[in-house]
Amino acid sequence: MPRQALVITGTIGDDAVEAMAALIRSFLQYGPDGVDRLPAAETLATGRACQWRLDVDETQAPALLTTLRERMADHPIDVNLVPDDGHRRKRLLLADMDSTIIEQECIDEIAAFAGVGERVAAITERAMRGELDFEAALSERVALLRDLPETTLARVADERLSITPGARELVATMRHHGAYCVLVSGGFTFFTGRIARAVGFDENRANTLEIAAGRLTGRPVTPILGRQAKHDTLLELSEKLNIPSSDTLAVGDGANDLAMIEAAGLGVAFRAKPLVNRAADAQVPHGELTDLLFLQGYRADEIVTPNGPQS
């Protein structure tokens, strides 16, 4: 049977670990005489992450995961089951920006300055849930920003955006261990360039807002980078860097991220919409971006910050 790592992340007390162990034993039908068949939980970060290495039949794995998530729903933890193989630590990271690497949606923040915040946010929400075509929805939202001064973009960047906890550590640690990290967004290069530098990405790709005479024209520069472009970026870089798909990780939260999440060796739904949770290999609805490191088997003393290894 394939070896799997059952990883729990979040705010983890002894009660949660004991409850998880009991549930695993029950599901896998480990009786009193077989208690020792369940390996001890391995601490990855005290109070934040631990794992069990299990031999689980592929036909059992989905039901096991569903059972554990349902039974542990009252605990502030995320439960995931990932292959514990030679490809666990990924060599290529593709990350969405809005509501993933940063905590906001840039276009919604721009729209607030233009006085159309609620209208744009409603379209954004529907597009994220997969109810609207992304390219058409982006064009519709950008049209509402026509004649907004270009200087508004800098105000949004300076006053409205915050980096998601764990983003810098995720990128710094993966790069330290040889991974190539790319910020790929359906948003705008004005912001991805700044965020990529602040977080430490190797490169960034996004859309460009058309500007004339210091004001937004209400049009994005075509072609628009959307769901297919994110997927194609994953394939392009995998081939260019000679990295197999099994060694890739993609993370995002909305419908625009589905194709790259489904194509990656490890696709992670981070604080995501329901359709993304259903499609992803792993879900992180409660935690921080450092939890993506624990899914890859990193331990707390291996996490790197911009100032050096975490103590």
Exactly one of 15, 74, 84, 96 is catalytic; name it.
Answer: 96
Q: pLDDT tens across 38-78, in order? A: 888 999 999 999 999 998 888 889 999 999 999 999 989 99
Please determine, for residue 82, whether its predicted confidence score (pLDDT) is greater than 60. Answer: yes
Please determine, for residue 35, whether its predicted confidence score (pLDDT) is greater than 60. Answer: no
Q: pLDDT tens across 273-308, in order? A: 999 999 999 999 999 999 999 999 999 999 998 864
Note if 98 is an active site residue.
Answer: yes
Strands, E assignment, the chain: 3-10, 42-45, 49-55, 77-83, 92-95, 180-188, 203-207, 209-212, 215-220, 248-252, 266-270, 282-284, 304-305, 308-309
Task: Provide the residue type at 189 as one letter.
Answer: T
Tell me what percent of the residues of the chain surpass a pLDDT of 70: 96
Q: Are 17 and 96 in contact (CB under 8 A)?
A: no
Q: Are 44 and 298 in contact (CB under 8 A)?
A: yes
CATH architecture of 92-309: 3-Layer(aba) Sandwich (3.40)
Please determine, for residue 209, whether its predicted confidence score (pLDDT) is greater than 90. Answer: yes
Q: Are 286 and 272 in contact (CB under 8 A)?
A: no
pTM across the whole model: 0.94
Can you tell me the distance from the alpha carbon of 304 to that of 173, in angstroms, rounded to the nearest whole number?
5
**Domain definitions of the chain by residue range:** 3-83, 92-309
Q: Is 269 exposed, middle or buried (0-12, 13-18, 19+ CB in 10 A)?
A: buried
Q: What is the predicted pLDDT for the residue at 97? A: 98
**Mean pLDDT (whole number) for 200-216:** 97
Q: pLDDT tens across 158-182, in order? A: 999 999 999 999 999 999 999 999 9
Pairing of strands 304-305, 308-309: antiparallel
Three-state secondary-structure class, residue 3 = strand
Fold of 3-83: Alpha-Beta Plaits (3.30.70)
**Domains 3-83 and 92-309 agree in fold:** no
Note if 15 is an active site residue.
Answer: no
Can you tell me the distance from the alpha carbon of 298 to that of 292, in angstroms, rounded to the nearest whole number?
9
Tell me what percent of the residues of the chain surpass a pLDDT of 90: 87
Q: What is the predicted pLDDT for the residue at 305? A: 87
What confidence tier does 311 reach under pLDDT thresholds 50, 70, 90?
very low
What confidence tier does 86 reach under pLDDT thresholds 50, 70, 90?
confident
Q: What is the predicted pLDDT for the residue at 307? A: 65
Q: Which residue has the tokens 């490809």?
A: 87
Exactly one of 98, 108, 257, 281 is catalytic; name it.
Answer: 98
Three-state secondary-structure class, residue 263 = helix
Can you tell me the distance from the alpha carbon of 104 to that of 107, in angstroms, rounded to the nearest whole number?
9
Q: What is the predicted pLDDT for the residue at 32? A: 57
CA nearest to 148, candidates 206, 211, 224 = 211
